[in-house]
Structure formats: structure tokens, C-alpha cells
């Protein structure tokens, strides 16, 4: 399996680690393809991750190499192939460049929880229909700075439903009125994750936790498409 990872900004390496560790627990052979320029993207890419960052910076940074445009072209050419957009990635799915239709039917507002210091962690409710292994708690060692990853263990549920450690960093906010697709994650009354067919958009950062349900969803979607081929 070939999973593309947009190297636009944000926690790219954490996403890579998340995909690879999920692949091990699902017993799948997965290669993560870093996408830096338009030519890195072709029809061999079976699924894709749009990480968080600053969506405006990501749009500007990608102009030179045309990466974002080629990602959007790829999504239009392969509407069934799964894409996971986290935080700014969710914004890029909901509000693509001019002239393109949104890839998820959901209204979203940037930075609507407040400033950087209003970033927060919270347990959220996730319901994501999956087959096979749905979550893996991988204990991670402290990094070179002695920091251990957020939200280790204890919150996973083998059914794929239940609490998820939500990490919200200058997160965008969905507008409940403007959602015309499936709701897959809630924080109290707030909608924090949606799925529109093959596209999954969350306003938090699953890659910064050890709960792998969203990465498992991506790989399982790819897997089910390849069995249908």
C-alpha cells in the first residue's frame, strides 16, 4: 500500500510514525510516500494525509511546487480514495482553492476556539465504523528532550467507539448548521470530526496521541478498495 503524506507543514513525522505503527498492528505492508512537489503524486498513491499546520501558510508554501493543486487534482480523479485531514488539513478539505468544490460538505471557521494559549486537550466521543483492528496503544518512549507523547493508553476501546484523546491546537471549529455529512466525533455539543464518503476531517490531532483509530480507518479504507479492484 502506498500512502501519500503532504509535507506541507505541521506534525508530518508523527503522522508517518502513526501510519507505520498501525500498519504493523494491522499486518499490512505500507509505504509512506512524502509529497513535496506536484510530480510526487501519481495514481499509485492509494490514500493520503493532509496534516495540520497553518492553512494559509500551507496554501502559500505549496504555490511554488504546485503541491496542493496536484493533491486536489488527485482527489478529483480518484474520488473513492481515502483522505484524512487533521486540523488545518480539515480546512483544506472544506475550503479548497478557488474554483473547486469542497471535498467535505461542512462549514468550518479557522482559529475559532481562540488564540494559541486557548489550545486544549479533552476527551472526545468518536464513532467510526471500522472492521479489523481499530486502535492500538503504542507506548512511546520520551524523545530527545525528555518529553513523552500525549494521552498514552487507557482511553482506547477495542470496538472503535468511545473516548478519544482530543488535542486541539489553534483548532478550527465546525458550524453545526453547515454540516451535510456524517458526524464521527463530538466534544460535548461541538462537532469535531466528520466523514464525507472517503474523506475524513477532524479538528484535532490524532497523530499526537497513541490512539490509532483514524490511521487505522485510512488503511482499512485503502484495503477495502484494493480488494474490490
Task: Among 4, 52, 96, 166, indicate the residue that binds ligand GLN (CB under 6 A).
Answer: 52
For the chain, give percent helix, strand, coil, nearest 5.
Answer: 30, 25, 45
| Cα dihedral 101, 72, 125, 182 sign | positive
Alpha-carbon gap, residue 50 to 48, rounded angstroms? 7
> Is residue 193 a contact point for ligand GLN (CB under 6 A)?
no
> Is residue 200 a contact point for ligand GLN (CB under 6 A)?
no
Find the shortest distance in angstroms from Cβ 10 to ligand GLN.
Answer: 6
- Cβ-based nearer residue to ligand GLN, 110 or 186: 110
Buried b or exposed e, range 97-123, using 16+ CB within 10 angstroms: eeeeeebbbbbbeeeebeeeeeeebee
Map the footprint of ligand GLN across residues 147-176, applying CB under 6 A: 169-172
220 noted as active-site residue: no
> Is residue 83 a contact point for ligand GLN (CB under 6 A)?
no
Alpha-carbon gap, residue 204 to 84, rounded angstroms? 12
Residue 40 main-chain phi, psi, to 5 deg: -70, -15
> Is residue 211 a contact point for ligand GLN (CB under 6 A)?
no
Annotated catalytic residue, options 14, 16, 207, 221: 207
Closest CA to 199 of 33, 56, 3, 50: 50
> Is residue 220 a contact point for ligand GLN (CB under 6 A)?
no
Taking CB atoms, the residue at the shortest distance from ligand GLN is 52
228 noted as active-site residue: no
> Is residue 53 a contact point for ligand GLN (CB under 6 A)?
yes
121 noted as active-site residue: no
| Site size for ligand GLN (CB under 6 A) | 14
> Is residue 201 a contact point for ligand GLN (CB under 6 A)?
no
> Is residue 15 a contact point for ligand GLN (CB under 6 A)?
no
> Is residue 55 a contact point for ligand GLN (CB under 6 A)?
yes
Find the shortest distance in angstroms from Cβ 110 to ligand GLN.
Answer: 4
Question: CA triplet 199, 204, 210: central angle to 5 degrees?
Answer: 95
Q: Are 222 and 82 in contact (CB under 8 A)?
A: yes
Task: Among 6, 32, 68, 87, indicate the residue that binds ligand GLN (CB under 6 A).
Answer: 87
Hey, which residues are catalytic here?
87, 205, 207
Amino acid at each position: 500500500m502506498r500512502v501519500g503524506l503532504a509535507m506541507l507543514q505541521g506534525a508530518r513525522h508523527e503522522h508517518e510514525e502513526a501510519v507505520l505503527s498501525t500498519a504493523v498492528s494491522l499486518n499490512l505492508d505500507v509505504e509512506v510516500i512524502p509529497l513535496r512537489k506536484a510530480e510526487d503524486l501519481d495514481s499509485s498513491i492509494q490514500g493520503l494525509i493532509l496534516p495540520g499546520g497553518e492553512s494559509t501558510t500551507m496554501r502559500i508554501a505549496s504555490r511554488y511546487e504546485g503541491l496542493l493543486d496536484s493533491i486536489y487534482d488527485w482527489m478529483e480523479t480518484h474520488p473513492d480514495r481515502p483522505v484524512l485531514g487533521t486540523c488545518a488539513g480539515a480546512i483544506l478539505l472544506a475550503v479548497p482553492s478557488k474554483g473547486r468544490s469542497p471535498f467535505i460538505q461542512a462549514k468550518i471557521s479557522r482559529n475559532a476556539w481562540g488564540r494559541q494559549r486557548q489550545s486544549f486537550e479533552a476527551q472526545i466521543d468518536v464513532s467510526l465504523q471500522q472492521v479489523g483492528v481499530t486502535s492500538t496503544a503504542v507506548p512511546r518512549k520520551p524523545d530527545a528532550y525528555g518529553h513523552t507523547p500525549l494521552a498514552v493508553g487507557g482511553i482506547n476501546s477495542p470496538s472503535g467507539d468511545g473516548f478519544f484523546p482530543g488535542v486541539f491546537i489553534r483548532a478550527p471549529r465546525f458550524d453545526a448548521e453547515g454540516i451535510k455529512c456524517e458526524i464521527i466525533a463530538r466534544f460535548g455539543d461541538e462537532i469535531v470530526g466528520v466523514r464525507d464518503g472517503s474523506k475524513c476531517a477532524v479538528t484535532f490531532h490524532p497523530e499526537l496521541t497513541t490512539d490509532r483509530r483514524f490511521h487505522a480507518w485510512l488503511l482499512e479504507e485503502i484495503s477495502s478498495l484494493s480488494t474490490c479492484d
